Amino acid sequence: MKAFYKKYRLNFKQPSGTSRGVLTQKETWFLILENGKQQGIGECAMFRGLSMDDVDEYEAQLQWVCDHIDNGLASLLLDLVMFPSIQFGLEQAYRSLASEDPFLLFPSEFTAQNKPISINGLIWMGNKAFMEEQIAKRLSGGYSCIKLKIGAIDFDKELSLLKDIRKRFTPEEIELRVDANGAFGKEDVFHKLEQLSKLDIHSIEQPIKPNNLYLMKEVCASGFMDIALDEELIGVVDETKRRELLQMIAPQYIILKPSLIGGYAGSLEWITLAKELGIQWWVTSALESNIGLNAIAQWTFTLENSLPQGLGTGGLFTNNIESPLEVRDGKIFYNNNLEWNYKLIKDICT
């Protein structure tokens, strides 16, 4: 077997704001496996400033994987515990290589019968007018669940946006989620949660920065609203420590981003622990191209989780790889009437 990788830079259609800054580009790496005439492809979507494997030797590690590809998947995954995005790329690439269709990783009603997955409509941070524009598009686009990233503009303005939505739509009509990306501090987190709690918010992701375990435990126990751990899961790779984290903090939800927490295997371990402890969960993409998003969406469908998932990021880029993935009516479909951009994929794979 042979292996090589290619770097690819995704360009945002418009700058996308988070509490960690504004994004205009996103690097990603494609891992290609060859066995005779067969090819498999996976995406290693390391996230600058967020991934635990955002290190100088990232590409050197990718090359090491290519040089040692004959060690086999199981052995390589063990060696890559500190490189979760490469673990995920490898899992994808091996599944892709083993399939007659390199993009059919998990055959199901999702891929064969156009059965969709419900997703949340993501609202990026920005000024009030920009966020209002996005909200209007999501509401007209048939979404029943909207997720707003908050923490970048004045909190009162963000609160006003949420109040406007809630005045127009009941919780039964529109589910509201918010994601603070760790923007709140010890001095204001409980006050802000109390204000948000008056608006029938479904949940808030990562209200404070990760690794403040005792404070996060208090936040989850405060009863103001349901808390979802996101960044808190990154870098916790030992099963015992994962269990201890969930037992101590006792969140209501956890958010699973395979590229950041060890691919399918790492995500399934978190899911198993969460189920044992009565914690709910959903899956979210992490700005992958459609190669990685396809791998996440197909797998997510097999998990049979009825909550809206976070899989609507494929339309953010000007130079994404065209695929059968299609978002409409607040859902993501695998539309077999659409095709992959095989010309671009061929350029990547040679």
Residue 80 Cα to chain centre, angstroms: 20
Rounded CA separation 54/277 (Å): 31
Q: Which two tokens stand for residue 69?
A: 């590809």
Give me the catalytic one of 147, 192, 209, 257: 257
DSSP string, 97-125: HHSSSTT-SS-SHHHHS---EEBPEEE-B
DSSP string, 28-63: EEEEEEEETTEEEEEEE---TTT-TT-STTHHHHHH
Is 167 assigned a catalytic role? no
Give me the catalytic one of 26, 147, 149, 209: 149
DSSP string, 157-208: HHHHHHHHHHHHS-TTT-EEEEE-TTBB-TTTHHHHHHHHHTTT--EEE--B
Strand order in the sheet with 145-149: 121-123, 145-149, 175-179, 203-205, 227-229, 253-256, 280-283
Is 149 assigned a catalytic role? yes
Strand order in the sheet with 21-35: 2-18, 21-35, 38-44
3-state secondary structure of 15: strand
Q: Are strands 325-328 and 280-283 parallel, antiparallel or unpaired?
A: unpaired
Rounded CA separation 105/97 (Å): 9
Q: Which two tokens stand for residue 218?
A: 């208090």
159 and 180 Cβ atoms separated by less than 8 Å: no
Hey, which residues are catalytic here?
149, 257
